[in-house]
Structures are given as C-alpha cells and as structure tokens.
A and B are shown apart, each in its own frame.
Chain A
Amino acid sequence: MILAFVESWNDSFKKASFEAVSYAKTWADMSGTTVRAITSASTADINTLATYGADEIHTLELSQTAFGVASQLQSLIEGATGIVIAGTSFGKSLAPAVAALCGGALSTNTTSAPKSLQPFTVERGAFSSKGIETIELHGRLPIISFVPNSIGLSEKSAAGTVSNVQANGNDLLKVAEVSIAKGKISLPEAEVVVSAGRGLKGPENWGMIEELAEVLGAATACSKPVSDIGWRPHSEHVGQTGIQVNPNLYIAIGISGAIQHLAGVSASKTIVAINTDPEAPFFKAADYGIVGDAFEVVPKLVDSLRAFKASN
C-alpha cells in the first residue's frame, strides 16, 4: 500500500492535496498495490480524494506541528511500501521527520513520477534548477516529497472507503499564533506569479503590479534587492535564496534576470519579461518579451487582460 499524507488548509483541500493522491495512485498502479490517504478528520468533502484514486481514506485528529504529525504517521505505516507528501511549507518539515522516525529513504524536491521500481528511481531538482538529479532510494520505504504543481492531477476513481483512526502525536513546540494574509494567493502554490524588480523605482509604484495580479488571479513576488530595501516583504522574495516557484505563468517586470533570480523561477512553464533594456539577461530566459517601459506597458496589459477576461 502507498500512503499519501493529504494536507488541508482551513479544513479544505487544495490542488497539492489531490496531487499527492494522484502521485500515490501512479506509484501504486506501477507496483500493483493500493492507495491509502491519511487526512485530517475535520476536512470538508473528504470523498473527493476517491476521484484521484484513494482506495482507503483514513481520517484522524491531526497534531498541530509537523513533528507531531510525523510521530502519528509513524504509528500508522504498517503495511506501507511508500509514502507521498506534497512539498508545501508543512510538508517540507514533515517529510524529513517521517524519514528519520520511520527509517525510509527520502527524495525531496521531486519533479517526476517513479522512473523505475527496482531500484526505486525518481528525478529531482538540484543546484537550484541548474541540474536534474536522478536519484535511487534504497530500503523498504521510499518517501517522496514532490514539488507542488510539477506532477499534475489525474482523475482515476477508486472506492475511497473512509474510516476514522486514532494516533497520538508528540508535539515538541507550541503554536502560539498563525496569521494568514486574507484574500491573497500564496506564492508557492500560485499558478500565475506577477513579479517586479528594482526597475519599478519605489514601493509606491506597486499598485499596477497588484492590479495586474488581481486580473490574473496571481500571487505577487519581487526580486531580492526589492525585499532587502523594504519595498516589499521578505516573503515575496523569489530566487535561489528566496522562494522557488514553478507556476504556469511567470511575468517579470523591471527585473534584470540575474543568475540567482533565474535559478528560482526558471522552472516556470511560461515566462514573460518586460524590461526597458533590450540587453537584459531575462529576455534569454523568457518565452515572450516586451522591450518597453513598465509604467506604460503594465497599465495597457491590465486593460487588455480585462477585455480578454470579459469576453472569455
């Protein structure tokens, strides 16, 4: 049985949740076994996991911390021949803890389904998107943490028998407060990202960036110097030393395209660069480019997209 840990946010699933089940299903089909999804008992529409191939769905009262959940999973892995966890911020703390507690071999930053089962092999990103590593996981219990949005969904219906289970979690920290920006799309899960750099001249000019993001249903991001000077919060800093993103569409405005910036965004499926300088390195990494002044191009793009959205 392949075990998928399925995360939920405010008691509802997101794309990464279904992607975890889809991943487990692909793996289970390859090895002729079943999928067990483990998720929080308070999540709404638990049955939707069956659509993506969950044969069994085990629900429980989840611990608040990643280590707590890891210790719960440790007591629920009997019969598991593999574990799948989405590489969300919670998953990034969870997967290594599970590997340490359960003695499984772990691949994080995984970008492919299993390539082979003997030895168990997958591909993963290394050197900040400058390399692709093919890695073998040895031992009884391969554990996969995958990059959200890199695997995709596949609908394959299964029984999805729901049962409630008990497991004690061992929390070593206390969660004092959680604050989530309301109405904002979080950067790691965004399918479209609108990002701007020092070319914007000052924080007061971000209005048009936010407008563009709103029309596209996008998250906003920025280059490192922009967050260092305090024009935008650190949580928007993308790149090799910030958040790594792989949306379907990345729009870079007034960003030169330094190697460290590109390292964190080049996995995006489609890249658009808007820059006054025709020699800006970003144009080499982009699929589409506009040489022009952001202060003229962006408002026009907002209008044009509004018109497009209205007629589509």
Chain B
Amino acid sequence: MKVQIKSRQKRTKSIQKSWIYYARIVIWWAKSNTKRMNILVCISHVPDTTAKINFTADGSALDANGVQFVINPYDEFGLTKALHIKEAQGGTITVLNVGGPETEPTLRKALAIGADSAVRINATPTDAITVAQNIKNHIQANSYDLILCGQESIDYNGGQVPAMLAAMLNLPFVNACVGLDLNGNEATAKAEIDGGHATLKANLPMVIGGKKGLVEEKDLRIPNMRGIMTARTKPLSVEEGSNGGLTKAANFAKPAAKGSTTMVDAGNVEELVRLLHEEAKAI
C-alpha cells in the first residue's frame, strides 16, 4: 500500500513539474516577442494636495513646517504605467529624484509601490534647467528605453523639466500623454491637445509627460505591507549632481483673499443674471 501511494505521488509530482516547465516555456516565448524595458520614472517631491501653503516671513521660500510631502500626483500615473509595462514584457524600473536627503522617503515610497531601484541626484533643484541637466547626465551614463515624467509638478507648476530633458537629449517627447502603447521599439502615444486629442508615433527611447489616462485613477497602487518591507532592502543610491540655473525666485506671496459672497435666492435667478451683467460684467 505504502509503496503504491508513494509512486502515485511521484507521478502527480512529475506531471506538475512538466506543467510548470511547459508554462515557463510559454511565458518565455510570449516575452521574447516583446522587449524587456529599462524604464526611468522621474519623481518630484511635492506638498500634499491638501497642504495649507504658507511662505517664510521674508517671503523667500515655502514654509515647509507641518507640510506633508508626497509623490507628485502626475508622477504616480507614470510609475503605475511603468509597473504595467514591466508586468507585460519584463524589465526594470528605476525611480529618480533630483533633490536633497529630505526627498528619500518619497523615493522609498515609490520602491514600496514596486520600483526596483532608486537614485537621488544630490543637488538643489532651483530651476527646471538644473533638474533637466542633472537627469540628462544620469541618462547618458545609463541607458533607458523609456523616460516617464509627469506633465507638471504641483508645487512650482513649471511643466518644464520633461520637454527640456527631451530637447537636451534630442529624444521624442509627448506632453499631456493620456495613452501609451508599445510594440517592440515603436510607441504610439495619445496626447491631450486644446479641444481634442492627437495620436503620435515615435521610436524608443522617448520622454513622456504623463497625466491621468496614461493609466486610470483606479489602477494607481498604494504600498502594501510586503512592499514596504521589501523597499527597505532595495537599492537607493545617491549620485552627486551639479547646481546652477538661470532663474531666481525673488519672492512668494499669497493671493489676495477673495471678497465676500453675494447670496441670491433660489427663486430669483433673474437677480443673478442682472448681477453677472451689471456688477461683475461677466456676461
């Protein structure tokens, strides 16, 4: 009896093994038709969207006291897109920030979400040209198939780094990118333009300025416990960067407070129309 059971177990085991073997071949074959992608995701470290924005007493800078910093929301779409591409065709994801040591928790969060390694380029990101120059140097020393940026950082609202970076590297650039399909070395991107959309074709490598649509809001991932644990052991390297720049923030101020609100009775919309015409001169 015992012997029989053992041999049956052996047989099922060997069947299981051959199935795993077969599945591996299928996966290998599927991947050999696509390209393993070395992806760089550029991440800026910005105040949380709910943060109250205050400036230092001399108006020279943001008062970061009590402000929580997060991955720039536009960059979350790029990071998730990178994960989708890696899952579909294999590859590695590097996240990069140009900034001081205070940005490392943001990079760790990106590692917890699923990036493989992180790079912090140690420099003061005084303006977009400085940031782009530093990223360009890193890209030239490594080689990436795809560089995913966000359309804009929600702190200084520059919307400059990705287009500058692409121009410096002479690479194709798609801004306000709301869709990206890859087929080997060929990319088809959908971009939001004033009043509609454009479909653009380019060869990799290329630079993307992404936003919602690149992946959907519901696809965005938050770090889970396992991710947080493994992020601690993933590499976060620091490279020395250079400072410089052509612009200087001379002063920051808050916009003038809005005046009082005129309430109009719901039964009297004619009054609203009159006010919009005569007082606000808006119609």
Interface residues of A (CB under 8 A from B): 9, 65-67, 70, 88-90, 92-97, 99-101, 104-109, 119, 121, 124-139, 172-181, 184-186, 188-189, 192, 216, 224, 227-228, 234-235, 237, 240-242, 244, 248-249, 259-260, 263, 266, 269-270, 272-273, 283-293, 296-297, 300-301, 304-305, 308, 312
Contact = CB atoms under 8 A, between A and B. Distances in A.
A308 B277 contact: yes
Contacts of B162: 96
B73 A241 contact: yes
Interface string B254-283: 110011011111100110110111001011
Q: Which of A101, A128, A188, A237 has the most CB of B within 10 A?
A: A128
B283 A308 contact: yes
Given A135-B250, A173-B172, A176-B201, A290 B163 contact: no
Contacts of B193: 89-90, 178, 180
Contacts, number: 267
A240 B272 contact: no
Contacts of B269: 290, 297, 300-301, 304
A225 to B, nearest CB: 9
Contact of B164 (A96, A241, A269, A283): A96
* Most chain A beta-carbon contacts within 10 A, residue among B53, B158, B212, B247: B247
B173 A132 contact: no
Given A108-B159, A176-B200, A96 B276 contact: no
B132 interface: yes
Contacts of B264: 288-290
Interface of B: 47, 49-50, 53, 55, 62, 73-74, 127-129, 132, 154-168, 170-176, 178, 188, 192-202, 206, 209, 211-213, 216-218, 246-255, 258-259, 261-266, 269-270, 272-273, 275-277, 280, 282-283
Contacts of B250: 121, 134-136
Contact of A126 (B50, B73, B157): B157
Contact of B273 (A186, A286, A308): A308
Given A228-B217, A301-B272, A181 B195 contact: yes
A132 B159 contact: no
B157 A248 contact: no
B83 to A, nearest CB: 19
Contacts of A248: 282
B170 A172 contact: yes
A106 B128 contact: yes
B283 A249 contact: yes
A97 B252 contact: no
B247 A284 contact: no
B109 to A, nearest CB: 18
B282 A249 contact: yes
Contacts of A293: 266
Contacts of A174: 200-202
15 contacts: A101-B167, A105-B129, A109-B158, A127-B53, A131-B55, A135-B247, A137-B247, A172-B173, A173-B206, A179-B198, A192-B282, A260-B50, A272-B272, A287-B262, A288-B264
Contact of B174 (A109, A173, A186): A173
Nearest to A141: B246
A179 B178 CA distance: 14
A53 B232 CA distance: 60
B157 A109 contact: yes
A38 to B, nearest CB: 18
Contacts of A177: 198-199
Given A93-B175, A172-B202, A259-B50, A288 B272 contact: yes
Contacts of A133: 156, 249, 251-252
B238 to A, nearest CB: 26
Contacts of B216: 228
Contact of B213 (A138, A224, A234): A234
A103 to B, nearest CB: 8
Contacts of A270: 276, 280, 282
B195 A234 contact: no
B198 A178 contact: yes
B256 to A, nearest CB: 9
Nearest to A285: B258
A185 B132 CA distance: 34
Given A134-B250, A136-B248, A297 B266 contact: yes
B74 A305 contact: no
Nearest to B280: A270
A305 B282 CA distance: 13
Contacts of A99: 129, 160, 164
Nearest to B47: A127
Contacts of B259: 287
